[in-house]
Structure 1
């Protein structure tokens, strides 16, 4: 089993990756993503601007959702 340090799902998420995952999952607005994952729209805005890092659990959740969606098609 790989260590957590080598697990790509636990890596930090850039604003570009966040934007890409939002699009892949069908979220067109910051509000849509915020309500889907239970955070404020301003938190999503800060992540997208790169002012605050995307929390690891959020990054992991989005990566898992995108991976699951790709497997489904």
Structure 2
């Protein structure tokens, strides 16, 4: 499992993904991906790891965003 796309996501990477994708608040991201705002808050504080499927989704969206522009 050395594929970095399968790894969880650090709080810093999550913040960067939010910026790239235009999510200004925890609530914006939570609504977009169907989780609670408190879950996003825990991820950003590093108290809970970002679930791998969420990390993969965000990485794919960031990669797509970079290809478009």
TM range (shorter): over 0.9
Residue ranges of structure 1 left out of the alignment (5+ in a row): none
Residue 23 of structure 1 aligns with which residue? 19
Please point out which of 4, 14, 29 is paired with 1:8.
4
TM-score scaled to structure 2, two decimals? 0.97
RMSD between aligned residues: 0.6
Task: Count how many residue pairs are aligned between Structure 1 and Structure 2.
Answer: 69
Report whether the alignment pairs 1:40 with 2:41: no
Give the whole-Å Cα distance in 1 for the aligned partners of 2:15 and 2:3. Answer: 21
Q: Structure 2: 5+ residue runs without aligned partners? A: none
Q: What stretches of structure 1 move > 6 A for 4+ residues in a row?
A: none
